[in-house]
Amino acid sequence: MKKIWTMILAYFAALILSGCGTLITVFQADSVTKRKLNQVETKCESVPRVYSGMAYDFCVLRGKPSQAALWLVPIPELIMVDIALSAALDTVLLPYTIYEQIQSGSINIQ
């Protein structure tokens, strides 16, 4: 029984981290961030690199869910959990993201 709960917890963690705003905006190319936000037809024009994970998640909340972003459709509560996790990870990565913001500027979505 313990093994089953461990597998369920690992699956849930993988599900959350696969949509984690910080992982998408910091560790992937800007084009990936742009494509994912355009899939949900967000009204955001750019995402700052400082606290980019939280900004990304708020942009997703402002967007229109689509079939391409199926994991967002039924559970906005999951996005709220991701915002909390992104806030923690964004804080840890703050020195790096400040440097990137100065060097590259914000991530343009439009």
* Among the listed residues 103, 110, 89, 80, the one whose alpha carbon sits nearest the alpha carbon of residue 26: 89
Strands (DSSP E) along the chain, which ranges?
46-47, 107-108
Q: Number of folded domains in the chain?
A: 1
Q: Residue 28 sits in which domain range?
A: 2-108
**Residues facing residue 46 across a β-bridge:** 108
Tokens of 42: 């967000």
- Reported pTM: 0.76
pLDDT in tens, the chain (110 residues): 777 777 666 655 555 555 588 989 999 999 999 998 888 888 899 999 999 999 998 898 888 765 544 554 446 777 788 888 889 999 999 999 999 999 999 999 98
What are phi and psi for residue 31, nearest 5 degrees?
-65, -30
The conformational region for residue 48 under phi > 0 = left, psi -120 to 50 = alpha, else beta, is beta
Tokens of 96: 């790096």
Nearby residues of 12 by Cβ (< 8 Å), 6 or more positions away: none
